[in-house]
Structure 1
Amino acid sequence: MRWSQLYVPTLRDDPADAEAVSHRLLVRGGFVRQLMAGHFTLLPLAVRVRSKIVDVIREEMTAIGVQEFLLPALHPAEIWQRSGRWEVMGEEMFRLKDRKGAELALGMTHEEIFTVLSQELRSYRDLPQMWYQFQTKFRDEARPKSGLLRVREFTMKDSYSFDVASEGLDRSFDLHKAAYQRIFSRLGLPAIAVQASSGSMGGSASVEFMSPSQAGEDLVVRCRSCDYAANTEKATSALPAVADSPALVVPERFDTPDARTIEELSRRHDVPAVSQIKTLVYVVDGELTLVLLRGDHNLVEQKLIDTLAAQTVRPATAEEIQSALGASPGSLGAVGVSDVPVCADEALRGRTSMVTGANSDGVHLRGVSVERDIAVQRWADLREVTAGEACPQCGAPLDVVRTIEVGHIFKLGRKYTEALGVSVLGPAGDRVVPIMGSYGIGVERALAAVVETHHDEKGIVWPVAVAPFTVAIVVLGTKDAKVAEAAETLYRQLADEGLDVLLDDRDERPGVKFRDAELIGIPYRITVGARGLAENTLEITTRATGETQTVPVAEAAEQFRKQLTGAA
């Protein structure tokens, strides 16, 4: 490809609304343009990168025996209603009606649609099956941001496995996990496999692949001394025991008109946060629920959702709280509460001599024994793990890392096959419901995550495997016949060998050409100029290191091939 024919609208300055590095550089480098919030046009350079990412994924899917399909992006509501997710997906699902009034949705994901397709499977002999596609997904994100990292329209590689029994699902899951690790390695994308919540997908287990980045919105807890790693929505830690004084015979009221927060109660009444009970009020599937944590701990809402298998969870309003408990936030507690379900974090189990609100404004209780004085219906791990806490596996201090989710795999179980009536003839002649797995990679998000990982102050530094072009031949002096001829000869040599070559034949200053090549991140640059030709040499520069090698013109193609092979 000749740069003079290529559409690469590079910009001198960063876009004003770009916060993430990938957003800034992909716009500046002429890769993407925003149509509206959460919707981006991919320009030719980005299309080339996307195509290479797709090729890597496709090769690894083929290697483990997954077959490619292409399913519709527009779905009838009835299928989602049968699975129970029409309501669960809430406002993130784009819903519409056709001219006949039929309810439809733009697909957020394709579990239901692939499951319907699997109804044609007849016998256990037809299994296992692993199917996948590349398809556009639509999610009505409330706050699309960070360029391609959080959008409302994107391409996902989603695959689905169907097996007779859980042992088969384990095999399909492990095949995908290993394939994903190879995919991210080939993309040059560091990815940590972590335990995760299955969320609205359902199922028994899930693993996220998280790439460390300050642009990420997910926090991962990991141990550097062992292999423990989990999303904060799933992470646990080992807490040191707390030595409590004995509880009072009965809890004692004391006035706290000046203390409405954990910090104020600690500072003004000498009650450390570790000895306080934090009382939160949530509406869980329409029912008011009290959620209790230690005063110095924060709730992870997804843990609450998973614990209660809830469809909808939201904080209660001030009016709902006042009506149920007779007090305002800041003076709430669960002592003596019998008509509202209570869910408590495990860190409170066995604690005595605690302080909590008395459900009377400006009053607290002390000397509380949690298990004696509070009717806890459900104990669970609900708290957020923080850096420095002890690893649950080996006891070493944990790190908390900001990350981008680049892949997610689920053991779905039989949630969808049961809901949609899928069964096959089993080995014993009975009907068997297949067990499913689901496995996703966001293609454009992976593209952006690569940029987040591979960049410097000059621009993007693409890994060779996904670079829009492997090498840029920069011609210095396009009107010099000898220079032009040498560049054309080298261009044809490399192109004939199947390399992606960009010939910068523009009539621009050398500085402009060099800056553009660095900005768009081409891994190698070969400079052809009159000064070098006078000495019968060319320069090969490696983008990642900035190192330049001077080679004879006649040996340039061969030297570049060796350098490329060595780098690979």
Structure 2
Amino acid sequence: MLYQFGTKFRDEMRPRFGVLRSREFLMKDAYSFHIDEADLEKYYKTMFDAYTNICIKCGFQFRAVEAASGAIGGSFSHEFVVLTDAGEEEITWCNCGYGANSEKVECLKIEQSKEEVLPAEEILTPDTGAVEDVAKFLNLSHKKFIKTMIYIADEKPVAVLVRGDHEINEIKLQALLGADETALADEQTVISVTNAPIGFAGPAGLKNIKIIADLSVVELSNALTGANKKDYHLKNVNYKRDYNADIVADIRKVIRGDICPKCKKEELKFSRGIEIGHIFKLGAKYSKSMNASYLDATGKEKFIIMGCYGIGVTRILAAIVEQSHDNDGIIWPDNIAPFEVAIVPLNYVDEKTKETTEKIYEELSSKGLDILIDDRDERAGIKFKDADLIGIPYRITISEKNLANGNVELKARRDAKDAVRILKSEEVISELLKIFKK
């Protein structure tokens, strides 16, 4: 396995989300090389566990979920997603242990009650091409519609069918077709394929074009579709009688109310989050293209099997701040705080205050803790506010009043403002060494 930490650059026209999605960022990349899929599977599990441990040590509330591999490709991948409403990712999960990025999650077939099959009928729907408009015009549920979208997949048009209340998952569609590129067709292509403007396409009567139908579409009885004719729709459309599909598959986006594909019992739950890591089983995709091979024990030439593993160092910091803060500022977890302890002497020029500050500093530093002394000539309130804003896990306050009894104050950043412990200076040292296992 080869890895590197390096600065990367993303060509963002309008960078957003602060350091979550900036043009420049720090990342760890790694690639592993294997003799077969079994060896990759074993190492993939090792990396999965390593990324899980990183998330635990950072104090994250997170989920590792199945994900679409995207442009990188490969047979399988997992994203490590930190749960926060500020995240740009949406994940779905279930109490049974299943979890997937919303782009990847499998959508089960939705069983529909079968109706008596009625004769197909063309109806006038003037200037109502959108599902919302037609549904309102005919007083019909969106669930009775078949949306027919014309896509271009590797320069060839295909018709894609989903139920009226669903959206096409273009990542699933592209993977299903094995296409390098998929995109919605322009208006002229739609007209040439359907003989009608956008909004009036339907599967009945379409010729010389591949038709891809979602699982939910073929379950519909007496559905409504475009009639491939301007200002007209076709009602009572039924699969097999009025149209056929070349492929029937899961090609839609997940929605609220969908059932978990693993346990097939509970409704999926939805959360937003920040992707901080992604691991992939690449297989032989790149080794084949680069003719990267090895000779096995019998002297036979075989392609190297690869894995890929990335984690965003900059994103980890941003994700921690999003998940671990309050109205006063950052709350750094103990493991990655820039300083574990802030010592705040209220009057640093006082000889006894200075002596106690330096004694505590020396004792804790000698045990490997990083300590910050705020020796500024500022009011106590300003020092406390800045310590909270920076987010250092523990604060020791040294005042002349407490020192008169040989005491100092210890406060954890996560605790309430008034949760202050009064301890002897020796006790505060031993307490912090115990907390940080030094």
- Is the shorter-chain TM-score for this pair beyond 0.5, marking a shared fold? yes
Q: Which residue of 545, 548, 551 maps to 2:415?
A: 545
Q: CA offsets per residue over residues 481-502 of structure 1, 9 Å max, x none?
A: 2211211121111111110100
Mapping for residues 316-465 of structure 1, pairs under 5 Å: 316-394=185-263, 395-465=265-335
Deviation at 1:439, TM superposition (A): 0.8
AA at the equivalent of 1:313: T
Aligned equivalent of 1:161: 32
Aligned equivalent of 1:68: none
CA distance in 2 between counterparts of 1:356 and 1:241 reads 20
Q: Is the 8 A contact 2:9 2:25 kept in 1?
A: yes
Q: Larger deviation: 178-187 or 314-323?
A: 314-323
Q: Is the 8 A contact 1:476 1:527 kept in 2?
A: yes
Question: Is 2:384 the counterpart of 1:514?
Answer: yes
Q: Is the 8 A contact 2:67 2:79 kept in 1?
A: yes
Q: Which residue of 175, 183, 198 maps to 2:69?
A: 198
Q: Which residue of 283, 287, 309 maps to 2:178?
A: 309
Aligned equivalent of 2:404: 534
Q: Which runs of 4+ in 1 moved over 3 A?
A: 237-240, 246-249
Mapping for residues 3-14 of structure 1, pairs under 5 Å: none
Q: CA offsets per residue over residues 68-106 of structure 1, 9 Å max, x none?
A: xxxxxxxxxxxxxxxxxxxxxxxxxxxxxxxxxxxxxxx
Mapping for residues 498-513 of structure 1, pairs under 5 Å: 498-513=368-383
Aligned to 1:541, the other structure's residue is in SS state strand
Aligned equivalent of 1:490: 360
Q: Is the 8 A contact 1:244 1:353 kept in 2?
A: no
Aligned to 2:174, the other structure's residue is in SS state helix
AA at the equivalent of 2:309: Y
Gapped regions of structure 1 (runs ≥ 5): 1-129
CA distance in 1 between counterparts of 2:34 and 2:410 reads 52
Q: CA offsets per residue over residues 380-408 of structure 1, 9 Å max, x none?
A: 21111122222122211111111111111
AA at the equivalent of 1:544: R
Q: CA offsets per residue over residues 124-144 of structure 1, 9 Å max, x none?
A: xxxxxx221112222213442
CA distance in 1 between counterparts of 2:142 and 2:292 reads 52
Question: Is 2:429 the counterpart of 1:557?
Answer: yes
CA distance in 1 between counterparts of 2:11 and 2:158 reads 29
Aligned to 1:515, the other structure's residue is in SS state helix
State the TM-score, normalized to the length of structure 1.
Answer: 0.74
AA at the equivalent of 1:556: V
| CA RMSD, Structure 1 to Structure 2 (Å) | 1.7
Structure whose residues are more often helix by fraction:
1
Deviation at 1:258, TM superposition (A): 4.7
Deviation at 1:240, TM superposition (A): 4.1
Deviation at 1:287, TM superposition (A): 2.0
Aligned to 2:68, the other structure's residue is in SS state coil
Mapping for residues 218-297 of structure 1, pairs under 5 Å: 218-224=89-95, 226-249=96-119, 251-297=120-166
Percent of counterpart pairs with the same letter? Answer: 41
Give aligned pairs, total. Answer: 435
Q: CA offsets per residue over residues 236-294 of structure 1, 9 Å max, x none?
A: 24454112324345x32111115322222222213321111011222222222221100
CA distance in 2 between counterparts of 1:396 and 1:228 reads 11
CA distance in 2 between counterparts of 1:237 and 1:279 reads 19
Aligned equivalent of 1:38: none
